[in-house]
Chains A and B, each alone.
Chain A
């Protein structure tokens, strides 16, 4: 066996006093970290392949297991950190691009943590959401510039197709292929119960999701996988995916070994063939081409569905968002660079793009400067960890938020960042049948429903504290936000004042 230049990352600690040798961990670890000793009875562990997914820890009936960071010191060097050295060794061994899953783990500023919320005192009563109506219903879609009426009580305006959400939280795009059908089904069931939407990504629409198509967002991405007339029409709205926050500017690659019969049917590609999404849409080389594609999608759906355009947050995001809106997008989704992914080149994920907070703030302001903000919907994506993040995003100007990592965590994901290996022990980011069956949609959809229900309660509580009883009055209400420890420039871009001001 060749010498491995990289020390392992974790150590599995087994408390022998507690271990009952039931072997649960042995059977649950797809990385084969646990095994029976020669006696066939005693369970032992080797930690080389441990990714700290905690499957064994959480299932151990006696809590005999613990994962510890494996500490192996290098000579101190603030520049050549162990991580860079290890990555070099990995590349020296494989000659390949470094891949990883989930959003960037780098300590870039999280602006949500540097923004504080307001509450009412004296001059304005706070509202108790348990006693008073508290509205979080959100309507997405293109709005006419003005209402026309015959008289009070009778509208004569012709409304473009609208989407009513009972919460400003939607589930972001995750394709069948990148996640398991059971995971997708759980999200679909949760979306139906919550009155929100899930997004099938660019993986096509599996027939099992038929009961949930009125809650589905279907994507048209650069690979055009699974796109046909029925696909477009079996949806609540259609999203043209230009880019993804975790990997702006590059396409996607689902290796052939993951293209099972089911995946191949949904994507309409041969079984076992690599599913490669090109970096650009090869029919969109400029904004006017986007307009044509939007028009084509609207034609294909008989103008019955809003069309969304999802872009990655990049440097010139405000102008791009404005361009998308003018090209006919009814909804523009901005995906910040902390957003998750099933697999992305590490260098891209960790270095390309900008945070969603800044992108959202500048795009919202740009649309307002141009006087078109009220006619188009703006959706923010890219790592919302809790209800307060959602409230802050809406106050910065978002109509709704796309969340993916949070519902995945509710389903068992532990952010081990090895989605790309296809060995997800929680049955989420894998197509291996012995692993996907670990995710029972009947259990998991309820956990997702619980999570979003809890967030809804919290959003209402926060709004009530501000003296606001409709999310409409929170949207773009930046006076409810204050920065803490931010520079003048950051405050200017976010359009907020500093705490104490």
Chain B
């Protein structure tokens, strides 16, 4: 499946991926409202770790055998058989955060429900990849889960 890969040598630490992730997962889809005034404020699914010298944007790996799906007690966390995307059904999630605890990459965030990357579920690719000014995020078939 197509996954997002971070190239740390190219990461600028600008964190625009976070800004655009929030926008993409907002109600308004407007960069200013999403990041400034929307209530509840949308959360970013991607997080940049590091500083200007070394940084990388961390995203859900959409594991082939996801621990979060296995651990979910309500069946809210599922892996789509066709697309391979691991996502949370927010209506089913009760916010127990077991998934947060089991994720080996630390890529699920705790909100009222679990919050995680869903690859934006649209045709032309995830917002973080599209908006990275230095092409430090790539969205590609190659690489597999552990690249």
* Chain A residues near B (Cβ < 8 Å): 18, 20, 22-24, 27-28, 59, 61-62, 433-434, 437-438, 440, 442-443
Specify the chain B residue showing the minimal Cβ separation from A435.
B52
- A sample of 7 cross-chain residue pairs with beta-carbon separation below 8 angstroms, ordered by A number, consists of A20-B31, A27-B13, A59-B14, A61-B19, A61-B35, A61-B131, A438-B12
Give min CB distance, B6 to chain A, whole Å. Answer: 13
Interface centre among B14, B15, B135 (most CB of A within 10 A): B14
Within 1-45 of B, Cβ neighbours of A (below 8 Å) are at: 9-16, 18-20, 31-32, 35-36
Task: Please judge, given known A-B contacts A61-B19, A61-B20, whether A22 and B12 are in contact too, CB under 8 Å.
Answer: no
Tell me if A59 and B53 are in contact (CB < 8 A): no
Q: Give complex CA distance A438, B133 in Å.
A: 9
Count of CB-CB pairs between chains A and B under 8 Å:
52
Q: Give complex CA distance A443, B133 in Å.
A: 9
Tell me if B32 and A18 are in contact (CB < 8 A): yes
Q: Which 7 pairs across A and B sit closest by C-beta, in order of nearness?
A: A20-B35, A434-B52, A24-B14, A434-B53, A440-B134, A61-B19, A22-B19
Task: Please judge, given known A-B contacts A20-B19, A20-B31, A20-B36, whether A27 and B52 are in contact too, CB under 8 Å.
Answer: yes
* Chain B residues near A (Cβ < 8 Å): 9-16, 18-20, 31-32, 35-36, 52-53, 131, 133-136
Give min CB distance, A302 to chain B, whole Å. Answer: 39
Specify the chain B residue showing the minimal Cβ separation from A19.
B36
Give min CB distance, B131 to chain A, whole Å. Answer: 8
Name the A residues within 8 Å of B32 (CB-CB). 18, 20, 62
Specify the chain B residue showing the minimal Cβ separation from A442.
B135
Tell me if A61 and B53 are in contact (CB < 8 A): no
Tell me if A22 and B135 are in contact (CB < 8 A): no
Q: Give complex CA distance A440, B53 in Å.
A: 15
Tell me if B14 and A27 are in contact (CB < 8 A): yes
Q: Give complex CA distance A443, B134 in Å.
A: 7
Specify the chain B residue showing the minimal Cβ separation from A24.
B14
Specify the chain B residue showing the minimal Cβ separation from A28.
B14
Task: Please judge, given known A-B contacts A61-B20, A438-B134, whether A24 and B31 are in contact too, CB under 8 Å.
Answer: no
Tell me if A22 and B16 are in contact (CB < 8 A): yes
Q: Beyond the given A22-B18, A440-B136, please list 10 additional residue pairs across the A-B interface where CB-CB is below 8 A.
A: A20-B36, A22-B15, A27-B15, A28-B14, A59-B14, A61-B16, A61-B20, A62-B35, A440-B134, A440-B135
Task: Please judge, given known A-B contacts A22-B16, A24-B14, A27-B13, whether A62 and B31 are in contact too, CB under 8 Å.
Answer: yes
Give min CB distance, B51 to chain A, whole Å. Answer: 8
Q: Give complex CA distance A131, B10 in Å.
A: 43
Tell me if A59 and B15 are in contact (CB < 8 A): no
Specify the chain B residue showing the minimal Cβ separation from A30.
B52
Give min CB distance, B57 to chain A, whole Å. Answer: 13
Name the A residues within 8 Å of B52 (CB-CB). 27, 434
Interface centre among B12, B15, B31 (most CB of A within 10 A): B12
